Structure 1
Amino acid sequence: MADLLDLVLDAHGGLNRWRKARTIHGKGSVGGLLWSSRGQEGIFSSAEFTLDVQTQSLTYHDFTGTGLLGVFTPDRVAIEDPKGRVHAERSAPRQSFAGHGPDTPWDDLHALYFGGYAMWNYFTAPYLLTRPGVQVEELEPWEAAEGGWRRLRAVFPDDLATHSREQVFHYDASGLLRRHDYAAEVLGAPPAAHYTDAHTTASGLVFPTRRYVVPLGEDGNSLSAPVLITIDLAEVNVT
């Protein structure tokens, strides 16, 4: 396991660079069927965010309106203006998904919580796997069309806002992330496969710039449709 995790960390910029990074700033577009199914089509169609690499927090800029900030932490989400005035907020936001069905409409704060924790997880990986309390083990390789992908199974602690406690990450021969499997609890835990491509480098750290999420079959193979989420990153900067 240590050998694969070391390979993966090196492929994505190296552990020392990740430890020194403070913020990641990204711009892009997030789409897919999920948002329209929840009554939030287009809410992240022009997404700009800044996240704290070392602490789980993320801010969306111009969220739901020019100049407004969508602020995410695991225990609170809020829509604020630049002067810090709160337009809307919710404590213990994960609890607000209790009782939701597959088509339950979301409000802006539901979307902010999901979009906040998901993007923070995506863009801090694989450094995410070195956090205290995360348990990681290597699984048997997965035979993909592109060749054998090595896999890491991660079990996350309860204090981390993430899709599910258990997730599986697939890496190509060079150690780059190609697929990420999970079952998002706030969506009712349907199994999903999250594919990544078109990696780019920013300040020595490596990020996929194209992502899409599709359902995962019981046999472990992904389905071609529907495309639940797309993420196209146009710009990324690290400080």
Structure 2
Amino acid sequence: MALLDEVIDANGGIAHWESLSRFTLHLSIGGTLFSGAGHAREFKDVIAEGSTRTQSVRFTGIMGGELSGSLQPDAITIESVDGEILRTWSNPGLPFDAGPQILSDELHLIFFCGVTIWNYLTTPFLLAHPDVVVEELPSWKEGAEMWRRLRAHLPPTLVTFAGEQIFYFDENALQRRTDHDLLGLKVAHHSWAHESFGGILVPTLRRSQTSQPDGTVNAKPVLMDVEIFDASFE
């Protein structure tokens, strides 16, 4: 069995995933990308609701619980608690050479978090998309473990931060790391503490750090920490 098939089966199976259409998460996002942009607590203890099929995510309880923010394929919006649209960004996209400072703008922050969470949650099923090209790379030694790897080339129709990404999977075919460029940095995202929610396995803890050209991860800074407290699918 090909590695991608093993991974998808271990995470719930493609048939089950394709029967689902929506997700709801209770989560917190933090790290130096946020504190350095003046948004240390804006995504703490929030609800994210979205589609498993299109890149759509709505956050409620952001900015200290006072606002909502929405990522849609054609627009980013910021809304008041009673649904009034306060700001809109049509046809969003971060500049190719954008640095971390761009996240100081709240619309860019919502775009960044929406793309991040949607891609986190839909992987590895996202890799089975017909326009995604994957190839298996030589295994990687991570501490005392050997992790298998896939390089993925993602199409421009999917909004991501890098068209080429490398995914690492442990002996149980669970995703443990992803490498790609992010806001001008070489970044490694580690994931662990997988839990089953309605038959879909989700890593509930993720940490993003800069990395060296040889793949060595720098202990500091911690660019981003994501903790998922609960998740549901329908």
Relative to the length of structure 2, the TM-score reads 0.94
- Aligned residue for 1:213? 208
Moved over 6 A (4+): none
- Does residue 1:63 correspond to 2:62, yes or no? yes
How far is 1:173 from its partner?
1.0
Quick one: which amino acid aligns to residue 141 of structure 1? S
CA distance in 2, matches of 1:65, 1:179: 30
Give RMSD over aligned pairs.
1.8
- Aligned residue for 2:148? 150
How far is 1:67 from its partner?
6.5
How far is 1:98 from its partner?
6.1
Greater shift in the superposed pair: 84-93 or 171-180: 84-93
- Does residue 1:21 correspond to 2:16, yes or no? no
Quick one: which amino acid aligns to residue 49 of structure 2? T
Identity between Structure 1 and Structure 2 (%): 35
User: What secondary structure is seen at the aligned counterpart in 1 of 2:219?
Assistant: coil
Which of 158, 172, 175 is matched with 2:173 structurally? 175
Which of 208, 213, 222 is matched with 1:227 structurally? 222
Q: Is the 8 A contact 1:74 1:160 kept in 2?
A: no
Aligned length: 234
- Aligned residue for 1:92? 91
How far is 1:65 from its partner?
5.7
CA distance in 1, matches of 2:81, 2:132: 35
Greater per-residue strand proportion = 2
User: What secondary structure is seen at the aligned counterpart in 2 of 1:227?
Assistant: strand
- Aligned residue for 1:195? 190
Unmatched segments (≥5 aa) in structure 1? none
User: What secondary structure is seen at the aligned counterpart in 2 of 1:198?
Assistant: strand
Relative to the length of structure 1, the TM-score reads 0.92
Which of 111, 134, 138 is matched with 1:113 structurally? 111
Alpha carbons of structure 1 residues 25 and 98: separation in structure 2 relative to 1, 3 Å: same
